[in-house]
Structure 1
């Protein structure tokens, strides 16, 4: 059986390599990228992350390397005194890939379609979007502080009017970016080519191939053999091998993503903050950080990484692992160990399922470690490794008990927009909290969304983060580090911590 498994893995790896071998003619001007995420179609609300990363589509605003909002397709903007009317001057002389011009009307059409789809834009209190000459006007029903950061999100990227069919679905995506689509083979392969009519600085690399593959070991092999120039989201188990691989540099970059435990806060075993705090106290974050994530110091005792500025609490006490305190909190909720060492209450054992997925290869390993650690306080955890789609599905039908996920709080430069969506209702969101709400926290979010004063804003973000640290509707485990294998033939590689853009147009090939 072991031989068969090994042969199967070799076959999968060989298939991935075969699909990635560039032709002799294009090899010097071709960049090959591999990542874990598949795509289904050209719908920006579902798969826009791929098309912004490959620089096919662009948004009105962008996030620079310091996390600041900068102009992109919007050359500049102004706001009214009451912050309800925003006027964006659309950059002139920009042409979509289908040859049509970028106009304020084209932007209005694209954003109007986006408003009808899932995405962060849908949560903005937009009253009306209109176009006049080269001005796009967004009128709000109430002030909304994170608007500019939201407009940089991939679901708000601008597509040409001709991209949409009569139902408003994207039939043939045409953007304004330095690359345009040559061929798509969902769910695994995408080929984009340089856009010679780009309005900004032209890219150097002619062809870019993207290949999705769930198996981290197969993607690591692509890096080892030189068949992929950039390989994103690698397994920590690949670190030693790749660091010793000739012609490959392993880049480790901190990003505002947190590995956390999502809980059904109305589950009868989990519906008290003391139980959630006990689970937190039982976690050996230092062990996970050093032995699994392989980034010492990445332990997370709060949801927001230091890169998220005012939302990170610098003075928060780090509650180290404390098994005795965890057991005391659980006993206070009526849980006592039975003869088998498992907690029991009113004839029911503390038996819970933790669901996770292998798209991010470290998650199943972390889940197994959590299983062993919670067993020490008498909690029996069943680990279920499923597709990532199982998390939102089980959230919706109410069957989710606990889930281990990697939550990106940096989809916008300010996480406020994401939090407003996540905590919009007691039921929560697919990747956010589940069945938890706090009147105090909700009031803070409402005030934050309209607060113009930065000092006051910073004070309220600290209050909001403190509530989440005390109540723990989501239990943080570690802050995330992105592992990227970079072949030496790639020059000027840089990493976008907000994962909007692969920055391919800034790179060159050294052959």
Structure 2
């Protein structure tokens, strides 16, 4: 690789207070002094809901790819198409069991060391050995190679490997990022920005990396601030204390439609708000009861009242943005409470005390778990509670931590859960579906439910089916999910953000892999 001068290693200060947290000369809202080039002499401030729990890519989520600190082997464009990342090209052997990735020869870590096959092997092997990551689902036997060539050996064909290699849990870090025990102690990536400081759980400061082998970012300094409450993030936008505010609550967003100095960005995500049900429950295991629950939901009404957008009412699991999986020919999910009552009656459920249905002396009472990390979930849970009460199903809503859903799944104590699921955690939805729809179930997928035809169809796709064979397999999956409803779609999802007029050039990534800050520029309004 090309030799490059060593850069100052990125510093991860997990417990050191951040001096630039308040607005003022160092924040977005102060009277910043303009630099000689006309840009404000302060960092760009990003406010979002993601907390900084740790710096390990396998458990910390995609924060450091969103901030463009770390890169993955494969990347995506705004259409979700696979494009070169650290790898400039890739190809499979004739038997589909060996994949070869050619690395970008000029890629360099922020500490000045070269990106090589060993670093990639470390990253992918760690992610593959970590339960719950998309990379762990790939049939990888070994990751090796030498220099600029990475070789991935599989135990069986897996056509989605390049898409899996784009998953953020496979962020490639410099050897100095790891402690003696192999744990990640700091984030030394190879992207346009390098870490200056991390203060858990609230903030990250990054600056333009002089080791970056691409176009230098026009905005050299960025401060990310974790702000849990949507209304607090909205206040940061309107007060000028943040330049980019992510994850806007629909109500707050509507209130800022006429605010001066702000622009709203929006993109439809491959994410669906859905109900997870326990297929082993005597009531919820009955497809007729699941269909009745679906019929009881006024999705358009909920989308209008809570999400402020009736078009987000989900008529099937896959949103229209997932063009290969969204099936226009499926009979859409509808709202019909009379039909819901009829189905429940036919299944043997009759009105009991207080209007709650009963069968064989058992009341139709369930618990619905959700969490407030996404502001729309608790009000949607309340609306679902009222809708099901109207057809005789008593629902207790528990709003807690998101971790309580997989914990209850594992303990076998989960009835219903409401959450939003990104079915394109990696660019190919098949990778997520192989986990979420596995016969043994999944934390954020089905519970005590399986279908042999669906499992076979997923296997056909994983083996690399193309053309009509692949289309038929996807149709089998979508129709089975629509008929049996092991997961009940409620709403599709639109990501919205508010941008200060001080910033130009920002676009939202529908896969939420990157905030693309390196492409942004300060506007003339910022200098003024």
TM-score bracket for this pair, using the shorter chain length = over 0.9
- What's 1:77 paired with? 90
Instruction: Note if 1:501 corresponds to 2:514.
Output: yes
SS where residue 172 of structure 1 aligns? Answer: coil
Give, in angstroms, the shift of residue 324 of structure 1: 1.2
Separation of aligned partners in 2, 1:28 and 1:464:
53
> Matches of 1:64 and 1:340 in 2, distance apart?
54
Q: Does 1:468 align with 2:481?
A: yes
Of residues 129, 136, 145, the one that matches 2:143 is 129
Picking from 190, 194, 208, the partner of 1:194 is 208
Q: Please report how far the alpha carbon of residue 195 of structure 1 lies from its aligned counterpart in structure 2 after TM superposition.
A: 0.8
**Corresponding residue for residue 19 of structure 1:** 22
Match of 2:250 among 236, 247, 262: 236
Asked if 1:287 corresponds to 2:290, the answer is no
Q: 1:277-316 alignment to 2 at 5 Å?
A: 277-316=291-330
Equivalence map 1:83-162=2 (5 Å): 83-118=96-131, 119-162=133-176
Secondary structure at the counterpart of residue 62 of structure 2: helix
Could you say which residue in structure 1 is the equivalent of 2:357?
343
Q: 1:348: Cα distance to partner? A: 2.0
Whether 1:223 aligns to 2:237 is yes
- Structure 1's unaligned 5+ residue stretches are 1-16
Q: Distance in 2 between matches of 1:284 and 1:95?
A: 53
Map Cα deviations across residues 115-136 of structure 1 (whole Å, 9 max, x no partner).
Answer: 2223111111112211133211
Q: Secondary structure of the equivalent of 1:308?
A: coil
Matches of 2:323 and 2:211, distance apart in 1: 38
Aligned with residue 454 of structure 2, among 406, 419, 441: 441
- Is 1:488 matched with 2:501? yes
- Separation in 2 of the partners of 1:343 and 1:104? 61
Q: Secondary structure at the match of 2:304?
A: helix
Tell whether the 8 Å contact from 1:110 to 1:161 is kept in structure 2 after alignment. no
Determine if contact 1:45/1:117 at 8 Å carries over to the other structure: yes
Alignment of 1:401-440 (within 5 A): 401-426=415-440, 428-440=441-453
Give secondary structure in 2 for the equivalent of 1:445.
helix
Counterpart for residue 6 of structure 2: none
In the alignment, structure 1 residue 40 sits paired with structure 2 residue 53: yes
Q: CA deviation at 1:154?
A: 0.3
Q: CA deviation at 1:319?
A: 3.3
Instruction: Spell out, residue by residue over 1:34-80, the C-alpha distance to the aligned partner (whole angstroms, 9 max, x if none).
Output: 11121211010111411110111001111111221111100111221
In structure 2, stretches of 5+ residues that fail to align are 1-19, 27-31
| Number of residue pairs the alignment of both structures matches | 495
Return the TM-score normalized by structure 1. 0.94
In structure 2, the residue matched to 1:14 is none
Residue in structure 2 matching 1:271, options 285, 303, 311: 285
* 8 Å Cα contact 2:192/2:217 also seen in 1: yes
Query: Retained in 1: the 8 A contact 2:436–2:445?
Result: yes
- What is the alpha-carbon distance in structure 1 between the residues aligned to residue 65 and residue 472 of structure 2? 33
Structure 1 residues 193 and 320, CA gap change in structure 2 (3 angstroms): same
Pair 1:377 & 2:391 matched: yes
| Structure 2 Cα separation of the partners of residues 247 and 34 of structure 1 | 17
Q: CA RMSD in A?
A: 1.7
- Partner of 2:255, secondary structure, is helix
Provide the rounded CA distance (Å) in 2 between the counterparts of 1:184 and 1:454. 47
Please state which structure has a larger fraction of its residues in helix.
Answer: 1
CA deviations over 1:267-311 (Å, ceiling 9, x no partner):
222011111110000000010111111112111121111111221
Q: Secondary structure at the match of 1:360?
A: coil
CA-CA distance at 1:474 after TM superposition: 0.5
Which residue does the alignment assign to 1:30? 43
2:438 and 2:446 in contact (8 A); partners too: no
State the match for 2:403 in structure 1: 389
Q: Name 1:11's counterpart in structure 2.
A: none
Question: Secondary structure, in 3 states, of the residue corresponding to 2:274?
Answer: strand
